[in-house]
Amino acid sequence: MSAPIDFYFDFASPYGYIASQAIDELAARHGRAVNWHAIVLDANFQSLERIRIPSSVMRSDYIRRDVERLAAFMGVPYKTPGTLGLHTDLAARVFHVLNDRDPQQGRAFAHAVYRAYFVEDRNIAQMDVLQSLCAAQGMAADELGAIATDAGARARLKAEVDLAEARGVFGSPFFIVEGERFWGNDRLPQLERWLASGPY
């Protein structure tokens, strides 16, 4: 079987959200699987590439309009959240707990988190919001509370972030296939050509 695509995303990234709506379908056209990896691109993230987009830029009027335009272009529902740049580490930890059990369940949770934030304008850093999203995946309230304080869940996310850093990931969305790295939605056509025709 051909190598899967590794898809790295941050729940705070509107570009990651838009990519999440396209990557599985793109991969399926070429008989590829996708491994989803939630990361957190906060101040502690130290990519080997040392590329960092300041948070002020991500909150700029240009980015707001660019995301709205890109979402419309790709046919993805989108509403600019009232608060950008939320802390998403707990959502990422929950994702990995669910994804390790069942990748389809993890993916369903990721879609629900992204929809809650970038379509419904809900604060995905709040426990009550996450609880409702977890409940839809059959997770009990006490389990979410345990994940919030569990050192193992925190270590699981750190390991994912450390691996992303080691692989040169520096943004969201980020795709790696057969060792080749692609950053951003504007690289999706290049990624698709790679899948269709091989290295170039």
The distance of Cα 51 from the centroid of its chain, to the nearest Å, equals: 18
Contact predicate 127/93, CB 8 Å = no
Query: Is there a contact between 64 and 35 (Cβ–Cβ < 8 Å)?
Result: no
pTM strictly above 0.85: yes
pLDDT in tens, 115-145: 999 999 999 999 999 999 999 988 888 899 9
pLDDT score of 54: 52
CATH number of this structure's domain 5-197, picked from the four choices 3.10.180.10, 3.40.30.10, 3.40.50.720, 3.10.20.30: 3.40.30.10
d(CA 31, CA 25): 10
CA-CA-CA-CA dihedral for 181, 182, 184, 185, to nearest 10: -150
Q: Which two tokens stand for residue 10?
A: 């941050």
pLDDT in tens, 12-56: 999 999 999 999 999 999 999 999 999 998 755 655 555 555 555
Q: How far apart are CA 100 and CA 178, in angstroms?
A: 22
Residue 189 clears pLDDT 60, i.e. is over it: yes
Identify the three-state secondary structure at position 100. helix
Question: What pLDDT, on a 0 to 100 scale, did the predictor assign at position 141?
Answer: 81
Query: What mean pLDDT is predicted for residues 155-166?
Result: 94
Mean pLDDT of 49-73: 76
**What integer best gives the mean pLDDT of the chain?**
91
Distance (Å, whole) CA 73 – CA 68:
9
The pLDDT assigned to 44 comes to 58
pLDDT of residue 8: 98
